[in-house]
A and B are shown apart, each in its own frame.
Chain A
Amino acid sequence: MRFPFVLLRGLFLLSFVLSFLTGPIGCGTLKHPGFPKQSYNEDDELEKLQKLLNTTTMIKVYYGGNSPGALEGKEDTSKTQAVDPAGATTEGGSPEKTSRSESPRRTKVKRNEIITARLLLIDKFYNRFIGDFSKEKQGLDTLVDVATIGVDLAVATVGGASAKAALGAASAGLTGSKLSFDKNFYFEKTISVLITSMNAARKKALFPIKKGSKRSLEEYSLGDALQDLNSYYLAGTFVGALQAMQVDAGAKEKAADIKIAKFRDESFFKKEKQERVEAILPSIDTLKPGVALDLLTNPPVKDDDGMKLVNLRDTGNRRNKSDAVAKRLLKMYIIYTGRSEEEISAWESAITAGQ
Chain B
Amino acid sequence: MPGTIKTREKLDPKVSKEDLEREIQLRLKAGAIKVTVEGEGKSRTLITEWNVIGEND
Cβ of B8 to closest chain A Cβ, rounded Å? 5
Is the CB of B2 closer than 8 A to any CB of chain A? Answer: yes
Contact of A264 among B22, B31, B46 (CB under 8 A): B46
Is the CB of A208 closer than 8 A to any CB of chain B? Answer: yes
Cβ of A295 to closest chain B Cβ, rounded Å? 15
Contact (Cβ within 8 A) B2 A335 = no
Contact of B53 among A211, A263, A316, A334 (CB under 8 A): A316
Interface residues of A in 50-73 (CB under 8 A from B): none
Is the CB of B39 closer than 8 A to any CB of chain A? Answer: no
User: Which has the most chain B C-beta neighbours within 10 Å: A256, A265, A274, A314?
Assistant: A256
> What 0/1 pattern do residues 229 to 267 of A give for CB contact below 8 A with B?
000000000000000000010110011111110111110
Cβ of B6 to closest chain A Cβ, rounded Å? 5
Contact (Cβ within 8 A) B31 A328 = yes
Interfacial chain B residues near A166, Cβ < 8 Å: none
Instruction: Tell whether A260 pairs with B3 under 8 Å between CB atoms, given A266-B19, A318-B53.
Output: no
Cβ of A353 to closest chain B Cβ, rounded Å? 21
User: Which has the most chain B C-beta neighbours within 10 Å: A211, A258, A270?
Assistant: A258
Is the CB of A155 closer than 8 A to any CB of chain B? Answer: no
Interfacial chain A residues near B14, Cβ < 8 Å: 265-266
Is the CB of B12 closer than 8 A to any CB of chain A? Answer: yes
> What 0/1 pattern do residues 21 to 57 of B give for CB contact below 8 A with A?
0110011011110000000000000101011111111
- Closest-by-CB residue of A relative to B14 is A266
Interface residues of A in 311-346 (CB under 8 A from B): 312-316, 318-319, 325, 328-329, 331-332, 334-336
Is the CB of A271 closer than 8 A to any CB of chain B? Answer: yes
- Dominant secondary structure at the A interface: helix
Contact (Cβ within 8 A) B1 A270 = no
- How distant is the Cα of A208 from the Cα of B51 in the complex, in angstroms? 13
Contact (Cβ within 8 A) A271 B31 = no
Contact (Cβ within 8 A) A265 B15 = yes
Instruction: Tell whether A325 pairs with B6 under 8 Å between CB atoms, given A269-B20, A274-B26, A278-B29.
Output: no
Contact (Cβ within 8 A) B8 A329 = no
Cβ of B52 to closest chain A Cβ, rounded Å? 6
Instruction: Tell whether A328 pairs with B53 under 8 Å between CB atoms, given A264-B12, A266-B19, A278-B26.
Output: yes
Contact of A262 among B9, B29, B57 (CB under 8 A): B9
Cβ of B36 to closest chain A Cβ, rounded Å? 13
Instruction: Tell whether A318 pairs with B54 under 8 Å between CB atoms, given A274-B23, A328-B31, A331-B31.
Output: yes
- How distant is the Cα of A264 from the Cα of B23 in the complex, in angstroms? 12
- How distant is the Cα of A329 from the Cα of B2 in the complex, in angstroms? 17
Interfacial chain B residues near A281, Cβ < 8 Å: 29-30
Contact (Cβ within 8 A) B8 A258 = yes
Interfacial chain A residues near B11, Cβ < 8 Å: 263-264
Is the CB of A309 closer than 8 A to any CB of chain B? Answer: yes
Interfacial chain A residues near B32, Cβ < 8 Å: 332, 335
- How distant is the Cα of A204 from the Cα of B32 in the complex, in angstroms? 18
* Sample (7) of A-B pairs whose CB atoms are under 8 Å apart: A204-B56, A251-B3, A255-B6, A257-B6, A258-B5, A265-B15, A336-B7
Q: A269-B20, A309-B5, A314-B53 are in contact. List 12 more A-B contacts (CB 8 A).
A: A251-B3, A258-B5, A263-B12, A264-B15, A264-B46, A269-B23, A305-B7, A309-B50, A318-B54, A331-B30, A332-B30, A335-B26
Q: Which residues of B contact A (CB under 8 A)?
A: 1-12, 14-16, 19-20, 22-23, 26-27, 29-32, 46, 48, 50-57
